[in-house]
Amino acid sequence: MIKVGDSLPTATLMEYSEVEGEGCSIGPNPVDVAKASAGKTIALFALPGAFTPTCSAKHVPGYVENQAALQAAGVDEIWCVSVNDAFVMGAWARDQKTAGKVRMLADGSADFAKATGLTLDLTARGMGLRSNRYSMLVKDGKVAALNVEGPGKFEVSDAATLLKQAQG
């Protein structure tokens, strides 16, 4: 499992863009994790799935609400990573009103989740291999803080906990 001090794994996530600009086409665009995190402080949180109850009611809204405070604490970007496709993440972004606040990044094949060692097997519930619920503070591609939830819990990966760590 990834730990504090480790570099983020080499992976490509996908991001749905609804508007054309800055060289991005409309639709899914690849996000090279190493390039996108280089020289930045990232508040990254991951969760089992888009549109799921805890994720939609608590996890994402907390980061949207705390975006300005996280930015004031030195966070350049907030990333939400989930094992869903880019189209689902795009629809969820619209639903959660994350535009300009949280980047909704798709890990469609769970490659990033597998590479971090933070997978959650929900096959018995018909959801397949997913990401565990966690948050991490990433500085220049390296993990500075890591908060992994226990099974079925939402206690340490919330925005308030990561904000305290960013304020350090």
The pLDDT tens digits for 74-124 are 999 999 999 999 999 999 999 999 999 999 999 999 999 999 999 988 888
Return the DSSP state at 161: H
- In eight-state DSSP terms, residue 59 is I
Query: Residues 145-164: pLDDT tens digits?
Result: 999 999 889 999 999 999 99
Region 63-82: mean pLDDT is 98
pTM value is: 0.93
Q: Catalytic: 55?
A: yes
Of 31, 50, 55, 83, which one is the catalytic site residue? Answer: 55
Calpha distance 95→143 (Å, rounded): 29
Q: Where are the alpha helices (DSSP H) in 9-102?
A: 33-37, 53-54, 60-65, 67-72, 86-96
